[in-house]
Amino acid sequence: MKKFTFGTFLFLLIFQTSLSFGQQAPYVPLEVQKAYEKGTRSEMGAPGPNYWENHANYQINAQLMAEESMLSGEEKVTYFNNSPDTLRVLVIRLYQDFYKKGSYRAWPVDPKDLTDGVHLSYFKVDGLQAKLVHNSLPGMGSVHFVRLVKPLVPHDSVTIETAWKFHIPEISRNRMGNYGNGKIFVAYWYPQVAVYDDISGWDRIPFNGITEFYNDFNHYNVSIKTPPGYAVWATGTLTNARKIYSARVNRRLKKVASSDEIIPVFTQEDWKADKVLKHKGENTWEFVAAYVPDFSFAATLKYDWDASSVLVDSATGRRVRVDAVYPDNTHSFKKAAQMARESVQFMSYQWPGYPFPYDHMTSFSNGGNYGGMETPMMANDGDDEDSLRAAGLIFHENSHTYFPFFMGTNEEKYAWMDEGWATYLTGLFYKHYAPKYDYFGHYAQQFNAISGTENEMPLMIPSNLIYDYAAYRTQAYVRSSLAYRFLQDAMGEMAFKHALLKYMQLWHGKHPIPYDFFNVFETDYGKNLMWYIKPWFFDHAYADQGIEKITRFNQIVIKNIGGLPMPVVLKITYTDGSEQIIRKSTAIWDTQSDEVNLQADFGKVIKKVELGTSDIPDVDRSNNEVVR
């Protein structure tokens, strides 16, 4: 008999481990395979030794013309090529060409908001006049190209100078706009260099109104000139607050920096007393922001501003300022600063449990009834009449700080990598904030309406290919949030959170893709997760469990008809009036069988068996109850 050596044992252990991680290996696109080969990414989930990303410095001088609902600006952009490739073209985004007549849109626009698009006075590259052109493909919309006279070689930079203006939409306000009566939120507003990455090269996906964004981590130095009486909040730090605001306002802001209290920075009484702004004329607001993926701002007349600060890192003592800015006739925003405080605190210490990465977070109320839109350090929120829904909205938009901004994910292709996380984390927040609210039950019911239908798209179908909003919404928010939720159930809370924090530690400030997420979680967990990842993220599996049979030995056979791994919860009523609850975590399906047997009390007679709960989706509940 051959001697069984330690080396043989080690080989078998490695071989078995590789088998377990390779089971049901999902489709891996050629672009991702090449990234592994080039060493920019690792099959274990970490960035590879050759990982790189490009970035830019933006110097922008803008002027808001509120009466005309126009914005003009000049900018100087220094773009750094950190890639190993020589770039012969630049891809430039003019997002407000979304409103250009003839542009392709997947979101309706009122004809009154249609324009001739972004008007460029000039566009120069390294001091030479250059011409922006569209790709020959139809429907490119916001995507433009400029051929470089001198190719941009690795580790070199190029300078772009341009001046532009556009109309701020007043009716069809897609994520930004003029909300009337001195309420303006400006986002996706400046000519921007698109992302060039190791997976797709240049990002050429046009903005169609549904899918969101993908940006590099850049530095911003921005000045904004406003008409008399306007106050401005923005991404980044206001560097000339002492020149703009009154001494009273600056004293209050200084107090905010170290206070747990909600402090009215200024109110209607301050406006009436003319104690907010130092000057009655035009003002120029100066902001700086470092290593952020975008820049936005709000400009308003006679808004209220509540602020506080939150300790987010006990080890360093770092605090974050939270703001709520709103019109005086608000429904719920007078409580928004407190809601934002609780949100940032929960995110920093509970879920995801990573100190809030920015120095402030401003929740701006546009005065509308509902809806929100995230940007770095800024959120454009509706003013929901229901304070419980308002708290969830504020948390959801603020949680986008982590996904996609801190993590740099591609919302255009994989909306579930940001909206899914924000939706899932909001559910965890509601357990803390309003434990009786059946948040996940609500999403389970939404999922029931579309799961398994031909209109439901697997999560790995790129989001930009989905033009039906209901299908997009299900993929981006609903299925994805449930996928994260039941993955936590499968792994256990501690292991799931450990893997999540590992993922954030490895990929913050970078551009993770789905395979990085999958690989980090599998590696950190130390077990095969493809039995779960494949049906939830790659397949057309749907939500449907059923009671197959009850044996004479009180064994209850549950069949996973739709193929999605989810928890199994049984309520068993016996003839003697007693009841029993059996709950098995999602991990019960890791054997990849489509049936499981659960043992009821053998010494009792079963009267009725009920399968499922309101927060576990199931498209067909006709087989979820057996009465004997």
In this prediction, residue 13 carries a pLDDT of: 39
Taking the C-alpha atoms of residue 66 and residue 69, their distance in angstroms, rounded to an integer, is 5
Whole-number Cα distances in Å, 53 to 88, 194, 218, 470, 494: 17, 12, 11, 34, 32
Residue 192 — φ and ψ, nearest 5°? -130, 140
Helix, strand or coil, per DSSP, at residue 518: helix
**What end-to-end distance do the CA atoms of the chain give, in Å?**
58
Helix, strand or coil, per DSSP, at residue 412: coil
Of the candidates 108, 123, 111, which has an alpha carbon nearest to the alpha carbon of residue 164? 123
Is the separation of the CB atoms in 126 and 56 below 8 Å?
no
- Domain segments of the chain as ranges: 49-244+283-301, 545-627
In this prediction, residue 15 carries a pLDDT of: 35
pLDDT digits (tens, 9 = 90+) for 32-47: 999 999 999 999 999 9
Q: How far is CA 252 from the centre of its chain?
A: 32
Longest alpha-carbon distance in the chain: 97
In this prediction, residue 1 carries a pLDDT of: 37
Mean pLDDT of the chain: 94
Helix, strand or coil, per DSSP, at residue 306: strand
Q: How many residues are listed for the chain in this entry?
A: 628
In this prediction, residue 12 carries a pLDDT of: 35
Of the candidates 163, 180, 162, which has an alpha carbon nearest to the alpha carbon of residue 171? 180
Is the separation of the CB atoms in 523 and 45 below 8 Å?
yes
Provide the CATH number for the domain formed by 49-244+283-301 in this structure.
2.60.40.1730
Measured on CA atoms in the order 206, 212, 216, 221, is the torsion positive or negative? positive
Whole-number Cα distances in Å, 574 to 353, 553, 578, 580, 628: 43, 14, 5, 8, 10
Of the candidates 354, 357, 320, 97, which has an alpha carbon nearest to the alpha carbon of residue 207? 97
Is the separation of the CB atoms in 562 and 544 below 8 Å?
yes
Q: How far is CA 336 from the centre of its chain?
A: 20
Tokens of 21: 């991680």
Place of tokens 């003319």: 274
CA dihedral 403→468→615→413, nearest 10 degrees, is: -30
In this prediction, residue 26 carries a pLDDT of: 78
For every residue of 533-601, DSSP letters joined together read HIIIIIS--B--EEEEEE-TTSEEEEEESSB----EEEEEEETTS-EEEEEE-GGGGTT--SEEEEE--
Is the separation of the CB atoms in 199 and 513 below 8 Å?
yes
Residue type, 175: R
pLDDT digits (tens, 9 = 90+) for 65-91: 999 999 999 999 999 999 999 999 999
Is the separation of the CB atoms in 425 and 356 below 8 Å?
no
Instruction: Please list the ranges in the chain whose pLDDT falls under 50.
Output: 1-24, 136
